[in-house]
Amino acid sequence: MPARSRRKIEYLRVSVGDRCDLRCIYCRSASPELHPKGEILSFEEIVEVVRVASEFGVRRVRLTGGEPLLRRDIVRLVELLRERCDLQDLSLTTNGTRLARMARELKRAGLDRVNVSLDSLKPERFRALTRGGDLKAVLVGIERAAAVGLTPVKVNTVIMRGVNDDEAPELVRFALERGFILRFIELMPVGEAVRNGLWRRAFVGAGEIRALLSREFLLVPDTGAEGGGPARYFRVEGLPGKVGFITAISRPFCAECNRLRVTATGELRPCLAFDSGIPLREALRRGDRDAVREAFAAAIEGKPPGHRWHEVPTRTGMDELGG
Ligand code: SAM
């Protein structure tokens, strides 16, 4: 049986590929380097990783990327995970560009819900921020996800000073009127955001966003858990949805962190904030389940107590880490 660890790990984020059809200015370089296909984990390998993770207590899995809906046959991966792994919650984080056409199939395959990243409701700004994205496609995708029951739909927004900091109230109205959950995620010193200086220039703390929202909305703390994640939630009088804040910088929640990550090339990362990981791919390819188990045990044992982002940013891109 797996070694005991002080940390209770329940949640695994799996990046299914490093390709993305958007190049959000804070996430991805204008000309990203991609790994050769042979270095990316196959579906069988991903299923094997999740099966081993479940021996360690993982019951919730999120597929991410890159853009997970660009991975060929992603619906089949959802089916395989459903058939072969005992999961309470199987979700996916997407930029939403392909969601309209894929939502129904994903739901049918067994996906529970989606998180959609959306940083602006202004078409031109959205296009600039994502370097080419079509806002309309994403909005249709979000509506479609809700219509087929990929719920609760969560919308993830990163507010950046001088980029989209005037849009927080409008995003709240958009999401909460539709019964969605909007989460403001603080910009983190990871990858591209560090390299291009946005992190220093454009960081906006959750406290500032809350203060801004309080001018228009009465925010009432919500005690109900929402997916067991790190966000603190609020209700807004008169609107059905909720708004949450993920305060990785202004109020870190590392002590409660219950997650591990696997990159697209099969590196097990104990923590988003450190560049070190344990490669799983070779062990997976030689069918060595014990070695994969040992890696999980080591990752859980070695999970750092907290980030040190004020001293050392993360070099690996968020597009590789899966957010
Ligand atoms: N392509 C999918 C998407 O757009 O949601 C999944 C991958 S993307 C890397 C996952 C999340 O990471 C997105 O919500 C994005 O906003 C967030 N993200 C990327 N870079 C970030 C940073 N430096 N700080 C905070 N969030 C970041």
Q: Is residue 4 part of a domain?
A: no
What is the CA(315)–ligand 1 centre distance, in A? 15
What is the CA(21)–ligand 1 centre distance, in A? 13
Number of domains in the chain: 1
Query: Which pLDDT value is given to residue 230?
Result: 83
What is the CA(27)–ligand 1 centre distance, in A? 6
Q: Is residue 3 part of a domain?
A: no
Give the pLDDT means over successive 10-residue stretches in the chain (323 positions).
66 97 96 95 98 97 98 98 97 98 98 98 98 98 98 98 98 98 97 95 97 96 76 94 96 92 97 95 98 97 91 90 87
The reply to whether ligand 1 has any atom less than 6 angstroms from the CB of 318 is yes
The reply to whether ligand 1 has any atom less than 6 angstroms from the CB of 185 is yes
Query: Which pLDDT value is given to residue 225?
Result: 65
> Is the backbone of residue 53 left (phi > 0), alpha (psi -120 to 50) or beta?
alpha
What is the CA(66)–ligand 1 centre distance, in A? 9
Q: Which atom of ligand 1 is nearest to the CA of 193?
A: 23
Query: Which pLDDT value is given to residue 223?
Result: 80
Q: Which atom of ligand 1 is nearest to the CA of 95?
A: 4
The reply to whether ligand 1 has any atom less than 6 angstroms from the CB of 94 is yes
Q: Is residue 190 part of a domain?
A: yes
Site to substitute for ligand 1 among 16, 154, 158, 307, most atoms within 8 A of C-beta: 158
What 3 state SS string does the chain have? CCCCCCCCCCEEEEECCCCCCCCCCCCCCCCCCCCCHHHCCCHHHHHHHHHHHHHCCCCEEEEECCCHHHCCCHHHHHHHHHHHCCCCEEEEEECCCCHHHHHHHHHHHCCCEEEEECCCCCHHHHHHHHCCCCHHHHHHHHHHHHHHCCCCCEEEECCECCCCCCCHHHHHHHHHHCCCEEEEECCCCECHHHHCCHHHHHECCHHHHHHHHHCCCCEEEECCCCCCCCCEEEEECCCCCEEEEECCCCCCCHHHCCEEEECCCCEEECCCCCCCCEECHHHHHCCCHHHHHHHHHHHHHCCCCCCCCCCCCECCCHHHHCC
Tell me which residue has its CA closest to atom 26 in ligand 1: 187
Query: Which pLDDT value is given to residue 7?
Result: 80
| pTM given for the model | 0.96
Of 182, 248, 186, the residue nearest 219 (C-alpha): 182
Q: Is residue 214 part of a domain?
A: yes
Q: Which atom of ligand 1 is nearest to the CA of 157?
A: 16
CB neighbours of residue 48 within 10 Å: 20
Tell me which residue has its CA closest to atom 2 in ligand 1: 94
Query: Which pLDDT value is given to residue 1?
Result: 42
Q: Which atom of ligand 1 is nearest to the CA of 199?
A: 23
Q: How far is CA 253 from the centre of its chain?
A: 16
Query: Which pLDDT value is given to residue 4?
Result: 45
Tell me which residue has its CA closest to atom 17 in ligand 1: 323
What is the CA(152)–ligand 1 centre distance, in A? 19
Give residue 107's domain range: 11-321
Tell me which residue has its CA closest to atom 4 in ligand 1: 95
What is the CA(217)–ligand 1 centre distance, in A? 27
What residues contact residue 79 under an 8 Å CB cut-off, 6+ apart?
A: 109, 110
What is the CA(3)–ligand 1 centre distance, in A? 32
The reply to whether ligand 1 has any atom less than 6 angstroms from the CB of 317 is no
Q: What is the CATH number of the domain that holds 75?
A: 3.20.20.70
How many angstroms separate the Cα of 196 from the Cα of each of 25, 179, 214? Answer: 9, 35, 32
The reply to whether ligand 1 has any atom less than 6 angstroms from the CB of 18 is no
